Amino acid sequence: MKKRHLLYCFFLFLIHPIHQTICLADQNIVIKSSDVHGEHYPTVEAVRYMGELLSNWTNGRITIKIFPNGKLGSEKDTLEQTRQGYIEMTRVSLGPVGKYAQGLNVFNLPFIFRSIEHMYNVVDGEIGTTLLLELEQAGLIGLCFMDSGARSFYNSKRPISSPEDMKGLKFRVMNNPIFIEMIQAFGAKAVSIPFSETYKAIQSGAVDGAENNSPTVFTQKHYEVTKYFSITEHLIVPEILVFSKIAWDYLPAVDKELIKKAAIECSIKERELWKKKERIDLENLKEQGFIILDDIDKEPFIAATQAIREKYGAGFKVIMNKIEKTK
Ligand code: BDP
């Protein structure tokens, strides 16, 4: 019985994809990496650049194979696949990562960051670096943060200038209870729907709108099924690149260092690309006749979400204070 069990384990080891990628391929390492965005989105371009760097530095020994457009599934799914070692890497929003790391989850709180610069200073500084380590107990290695701008509401029904305008509307959010509670705090309804199903959900009337940044609204063509974009900037949720801990533990120290170094270059590249894309896509949306309200008074939105920051920040007072004090 014991022997049979051992044989079975050995069989599982042989068929495990990590073993095939990292051990059997003659030292060649192919990092499979997933993204829900398309080929030319800043996050995808930046990970492609990371792959080019790794390949150049190692004479083609380490490469990245990107699966864009959500080919490997939703962010919730690819995070699980990464945790279990079926893929080596995934680029996701920090939103769905929140459930694996409660400290890191404070970055998902509405109005936690005062500006994009504030977010950069927090995530690139001691707080971000320390909190990334929290992911290890969930089977993930946090490699770097990228820019995703700020998220704002768009919908098919009416212009929104205050939380009152949101009453009775239903919005799609990412997979994290914080976002559901946030919408409820504004007096509206929320439902978590995978990214790839958002267009259809709005089109069919299952929801009235969603919230995101202009590059996403433009590239996913959500402007075709909505009309009003209110620049509330209620969330500044960074993107994150995570590696599978199972795969990571197979790697020699020298390769881990190369991957970490390339990930830093990747995040620098993404931030450059992002700035341009954000500006261009806001213009693109205007050209499509999208109605953009950019003179919103944010105070009522900030006040309505105070209880959520208190609730989720309760166990993390030191972090919350440090974030506030960061310039
Ligand atoms: C986009 C993020 C992407 C998320 C998506 C969403 O880049 O990672 O999946 O929002 O709302 O801004 O699900």
Q: Does residue 211 come out as left (phi exceeding 0), alpha (psi in the -120 to 50 range) or beta?
A: beta
Q: Where are the beta strands (DSSP E) in the chain?
A: 29-34, 62-67, 89-93, 140-146, 151-155, 170-173, 189-192, 209-212, 228-235, 239-244, 291-293
Q: How far apart are CA 306 and CA 246, in angstroms?
A: 39
All residues at 6 or more sequence positions from 37 whose CB lies less than 8 Å from its CB, including other chains: 43, 44, 68, 69, 216, 219
Testing ligand 1's pocket by substitution, the residue of 47, 75, 220, 241 carrying the most ligand atoms inside 8 A of its CB is: 75
Pairing of strands 140-146, 29-34: unpaired
Cα 60 to ligand 1 centroid, rounded to whole Å: 31
CA of 195 relative to ligand 1 center, distance in Å: 7
- The DSSP 8-state label assigned to residue 154 in this structure reads E
Record the tokens describing residue 78, joined without a space.
Answer: 């690819």
The alpha carbon torsion through 215, 227, 166, 146 (nearest 10 deg) reads 0
Q: What is residue 27's predicted lDDT score, i.e. its pLDDT?
A: 80
Looking from the CA of residue 175, the nearest atom of ligand 1 is 13
* Span from the CA of 37 to the centroid of ligand 1 (angstroms): 8
pLDDT for 18: 55
Across the beta sheet with 189-192, what order do the strands follow?
189-192, 170-173, 209-212, 151-155, 228-235, 291-293
For the CA of 195, the closest atom of ligand 1 is 13
Is residue 214 within 6 Å of ligand 1 at its C-beta? no
Torsion of CA 291, 110, 299, 223, to 10 degrees: 0
pTM tops 0.85:
yes
The CA–CA distances, whole Å, from 318 to 153, 309, 313, 315, 321 equal 31, 13, 9, 9, 5
Q: How far apart are CA 219 and CA 77, in angstroms?
A: 22
Ligand 1 atom at shortest distance from the alpha carbon of 149: 12
45 Cα to the center of ligand 1, angstroms:
16
pLDDT digit string (tens) for the chain, length 327 residues: 445 554 544 544 555 555 545 543 458 999 999 999 999 999 999 999 999 999 999 999 999 999 999 999 999 999 999 999 999 999 999 999 999 999 999 999 999 999 999 999 999 999 999 999 999 999 999 999 999 999 999 999 999 999 999 999 999 999 999 999 999 999 999 999 999 999 999 999 999 999 999 999 999 999 999 999 999 999 999 999 999 999 999 999 999 999 999 999 999 999 999 999 999 999 999 999 999 999 999 999 999 999 999 999 999 999 999 999 999
